[in-house]
Chain A
Amino acid sequence: GQQLNQSPQSMFIQEGEDVSMNCTSSSIFNTWLWYKQDPGEGPVLLIALYKAGELTSNGRLTAQFGITRKDSFLNISASIPSDVGIYFCAGQLGRAGGTSYGKLTFGQGTILTVHP
C-alpha cells in the first residue's frame, strides 16, 4: 500500500523551543492531516489540509500541504510540556467513487519529549 515517511522519529527539546516535523510520500495525496496521540489514548486530529500549498494554523501549530502534494510539515512554536506525545501525519489519496476512497495512510510517528 501507500507509504509515508515521517521524520524525525523522535525529538527531545527544551520548553519554549520551536519544533518542526515533516512527512513525505512517493505518491500524491489529496488530503494531508496531522494527529496527536497522548500516552494511553487514541489519536486526536490537530489540522486537516485539503489544497496543495495550503497553510493552516491552529494556535501554536502550523501545517502546510506541499505544492507537489507529496509532502507536508507541522511546526509547533514555543513548546510547552503538554505538547509531549506522538505526532502522526496521515494522507488520503482517494476520490469519490475510486477504489481508495476510504483509505487513510499514516506515517510512523514522531515522538516528542519536552523538558521543562
Chain B
Amino acid sequence: EAQVTQNPRYLITVTGKKLTVTCSQNMNHEYMSWYRQDPGLGLRQIYYSMNVEVTDKGDVPEGYKVSRKEKRNFPLILESPSPNQTSLYFCASSPLVTRSEQFFGPGTRLTVL
C-alpha cells in the first residue's frame, strides 16, 4: 500500500531533550515536506526537500533541522524542544513534477512540557 508513515504518532517530552520524528514514504517520491498544524493557523511549512541531499526552509524553520540522506526518509529533528513547539506535525511527499499534490502522513502529536 502506498503510504507516508510517521513515528512516533504521539510524544510527550520535556524542554531541551533532543528528539527525532521519522518520516518514510514508499512511493519513490522526490519531494518531501514537514508541516506543523496549530489551531487557527492552518498548516505551516517547516522544511522541504526536492531530492536527496537538497533541503530548503519553509515559513517556520526556526528550532528545527532536517536531513535527506535517502530518498524515502526525511526525519525532523528538534535539537532543544521548547513548549512553543507543542503542535501536530505532518510529513508529506509527492513526485517533484506535481509537488503541490502532496500525500500526507497520519500526523505526530508532540507535547513539550
Contact = CB atoms under 8 A, between A and B. Distances in A.
Given A42-B106, A105-B59, A6 B99 contact: no
B101 A33 contact: yes
Nearest to B104: A42
Q: Report the interface size class on chain B.
A: 20 to 34
A22 to B, nearest CB: 15
Highest count of chain B CB atoms <10 Å: which of A4, A33, A40, A108: A108
A23 to B, nearest CB: 10
Contact of B42 (A1, A103, A109): A109
Contacts of B42: 4, 6, 88, 106-109
A90 interface: yes
Contacts of A45: 101-103
Interface string A19-53: 00000000000010100000011111100100000
Contacts of B2: none
Interface in B4-56: 4, 31, 33, 35, 40-45, 48-50, 56
Given A1-B59, A103-B58, A105-B59, A42 B100 contact: no
B75 interface: no
Nearest to A41: B106
Given A1-B59, A41-B106, A42-B90, A104 B44 contact: no
Contacts of B49: 102
A101 B101 contact: no
Given A106-B35, A106-B44, 17 more contacts: A2-B59, A33-B101, A41-B106, A41-B107, A42-B90, A43-B104, A44-B104, A45-B103, A48-B101, A101-B50, A102-B31, A103-B45, A103-B59, A105-B45, A106-B45, A107-B42, A108-B40
Interface of B: 4, 31, 33, 35, 40-45, 48-50, 56, 58-59, 90, 92, 98-107
17 contacts: A1-B58, A2-B59, A33-B100, A40-B107, A43-B43, A43-B90, A48-B101, A90-B100, A102-B33, A102-B56, A103-B48, A103-B56, A104-B33, A104-B102, A106-B44, A107-B42, A108-B41
